[in-house]
Amino acid sequence: MTFANPEFLFLFILVPLLVYWYFKKQKNRSGTIKYSNINIAKSVEKISMKRKLRHVLFVLRVLVISLLIIGFARPQSSHTEEEIITEGVDIVLALDISSSMLAEDFRPNNRLGAAKLVAADFINGRTSDRIGMVVFAAKSFTQCPLTLDYGILLNFLQEVEIGMIEDGTAVGMAIANGSNRLRDSKAKSKILILLTDGQNNRGELDPITAAKVADAFDIKIYTVGVGKQGNALYPVNDPIFGKRYVQMPVQIDEKTLKEIANITDGKYYRATDKKSLAGIFAEIDQLEKTKIEVKQYTRFSEMFTPFIFLALFLVATEVTLANTKFRKIP
Domain membership of residue 224 (yes or no) is yes
Q: Are residues 254 and 121 in the same domain?
A: yes
Look at residue 28 and tell me whether its pLDDT is greater than 90. no
Q: Is the pLDDT of residue 183 over 70?
A: yes
Residue 256 is predicted with a pLDDT of 95
Q: Are residues 76 and 102 in the same domain?
A: no
pLDDT in tens, 109-158: 899 999 999 999 999 988 878 999 999 999 999 999 999 899 999 999 99
Residue 33 lies in a domain: no
Tens-place pLDDT, residues 239-255: 776 678 788 888 899 99
Same domain, 53 and 198: no
Q: Is residue 329 situated within a structural domain?
A: no
108 and 237, same domain (yes or no):
yes
> Range of 7's domain?
2-28+39-80+300-322
**How confident is the prediction for the chain on average, in pLDDT?**
84
Query: Length of the chain in residues, anyone?
Result: 330
Q: Do 222 and 275 lie in a common domain?
A: yes
Contact 196, 225 (CB under 8 A): yes
* Residues 311 and 283 grouped into a single domain: no
Contact 317, 42 (CB under 8 A): no
Residues 94 and 75 grouped into a single domain: no
- Is residue 253 assigned to a domain? yes
Number of domains the chain is built from: 2
Q: What is the CATH number of the domain that holds 266?
A: 3.40.50.410
Q: Is the pLDDT of residue 80 over 80?
A: no
Same domain, 204 and 273: yes
* Helix ranges, the chain (H): 14-28, 39-43, 49-52, 56-72, 111-125, 150-158, 171-182, 207-216, 254-263, 274-287, 304-322
Closest C-alpha to 217, from 173, 185, 195? 185
Which range is least confidently modeled, 152-156, 263-267, 302-306, 323-327? 323-327
Same domain? For 179 and 249 the reply is yes
In a domain, 294, yes or no: no
**Are residues 318 and 252 both part of a single domain?**
no
Q: pLDDT per residue over 236-293, tens digit each?
A: 877 776 678 788 888 899 999 999 999 999 999 999 988 999 999 999 988 876 554 5
Q: What is the pLDDT of residue 159?
A: 94
Distance separating alpha carbons of residues 114 and 275, to the nearest angstrom: 9
Q: Which of 316 and 155 is assigned the larger pLDDT?
A: 155
Least confidently predicted of 29-38, 73-82, 301-310, 314-323:
29-38
